[in-house]
Chain A
Amino acid sequence: DAGVIQSPRHEVTEMGQEVTLRCKPISGHDYLFWYRQTMMRGLELLIYFNNNVPIDDSGMPEDRFSAKMPNASFSTLKIQPSEPRDSAVYFCASSPYGTGNYGYTFGSGTRLTVV
């Protein structure tokens, strides 16, 4: 199993540009989570999906952020327009039954820098 795959690993963009982060969860995992990690706020859950359906997006900071999961093997997190304060590491994680039994399996993260 290749694990959770995220791309790109690093992204540098200019303020105002659209940014799309990608994630491929582990096959058979029904839950997919997007987290953001910053020094100031630590690890924050942005949104999670169950069977491709968004369940809780209360952590999405504002309307500039959107996430989709068109099928069981692919999800995107889009920021439009991007701002310097969006600079962070964005993690995707998946889980077969939710957190209780297994915890999450994380991807390697995307380091986003908005200049």
Chain B
Amino acid sequence: AQTVTQSQPEMSVQEAETVTLSCTYDTSENNYYLFWYKQPPSRQMILVIRQEAYKQQNATENRFSVNFQKAAKSFSLKISDSQLGDTAMYFCAFSPPQGAQKLVFGQGTRLTINP
């Protein structure tokens, strides 16, 4: 069974700093998808970024980028120029490639951006 581990329960940085959230996963699959979701205090789950395992290039979305290390089964999220609105829970998630398999989520990292 696939598992996703986020080893940092909480993190806190100052506004405008860069922060990196860690995620590791365990799978025997070769092709799969990885995601980062953001859950602000409003409770809404928002897709931040996605990565396809067969693509070596790291995904980027504006200030958000990932460092995908397939051999190490590592998928970290880097937030550059952090903003107060980035304060949220961040969840890493794994999906196998075929059909509507369930997303397996990590336990989350609570990120606080301080003014």
Contact of B102 among A56, A89, A101, A109 (CB under 8 A): A56
- CB contacts under 8 Å to A, within B68-103, are 91, 93, 95-103
Kindly provide the distance from the CB of B111 to the nearest chain A CB, expressed in whole angstroms.
Answer: 16
Q: Which residues of A contact B45 (CB under 8 A)?
A: 91, 93, 104, 106, 109
Given contact pairs A31-B100, A42-B108, A56-B102, A99 touches B42 in the complex (Cβ within 8 A):
no
Interface of A (DSSP majority class): strand
Q: Which residues of A contact B99 (CB under 8 A)?
A: 98, 100
Tally A residues with Cβ within 8 Å of B. 27
Q: Is A103 a contact partner of B35 (Cβ separation < 8 A)?
A: yes
Kindly provide the distance from the CB of B40 to the nearest chain A CB, expressed in whole angstroms.
Answer: 11
Residue of chain A at shortest CB distance from B50: A103
Q: Does A50 contact B (CB under 8 A)?
A: yes
Q: Which residues of A contact B91 (CB under 8 A)?
A: 43
Q: Is A43 a contact partner of B44 (Cβ separation < 8 A)?
A: no
Contact of B43 among A48, A99, A100, A109 (CB under 8 A): A109
Kindly provide the distance from the CB of A92 to the nearest chain B CB, expressed in whole angstroms.
Answer: 11
Q: Which residues of B contact A48 (CB under 8 A)?
A: 100, 102
- CB contacts under 8 Å to B, within A68-115, are 89, 91, 93, 95, 97-106, 108-109, 111
Q: Does B107 contact A (CB under 8 A)?
A: yes
Q: Shortest 9 CB-CB distances between A and B: which pairs?
A: A98-B100, A106-B45, A99-B95, A45-B102, A43-B105, A31-B100, A103-B47, A103-B35, A42-B107
